[in-house]
Amino acid sequence: MQAMEKRFFCTQCGICCRYEEGYVFLSPQDLEQLTAFLGQKEARIVEEYCRWVPLGGEDQLSLREQPNHDCVFWRDGGCIVYEARPLQCRTYPLWRHILEEPRGWEQEALSCPGIGIGEKVSFLAEKRALRERQRQGPITRPRSGPGRK
């Protein structure tokens, strides 16, 4: 069986932003963009829209979810920060686990209506997206003690 040609166009359907638990880890650049876009101080953005997730020996900053697991920035009609959305969101579906799994792209296409339409995704675009996510890295802090969120 031949591999599916990689085409993608974001339809802004929100399926990747809604319905399931997950993490959207923020880089310093992501936080800077959100701060500028929302016109709020960084500390307020972190307090209102973020959470610290324990991973390994440190905590990583991620966007919060609404009680129904939708992204904190999802509202009826779409993402309220689409123009300033984090790199993790901007590079979907060019994520390592999707690209490197033998049938990852085909599996992701079952839930994402934008996969299979639009421009062909180049190998260079894939590599750039993966490299940029790795280069920016998430915001971290040393593992918190009891009582820290």
Output the pLDDT for position 146.
59
Residue 148 maps to a domain: no
Residue 1 maps to a domain: no
Range of the domain at 26: 7-140
Residue 145 maps to a domain: no
Output the pLDDT for position 124.
80
- Residue 104 corresponds to which tokens in the numbers above? 């990852």
CA distance 38 to 137: 22
Does residue 107 carry a pLDDT above 80?
A: yes
- In the chain, the amino acid numbered 112 is C
Output the pLDDT for position 6.
87
Q: Average pLDDT in the 6-15 region?
A: 91
Residue 46 maps to a domain: yes
Output the pLDDT for position 148.
52
* Domains identified in the chain, total number: 1
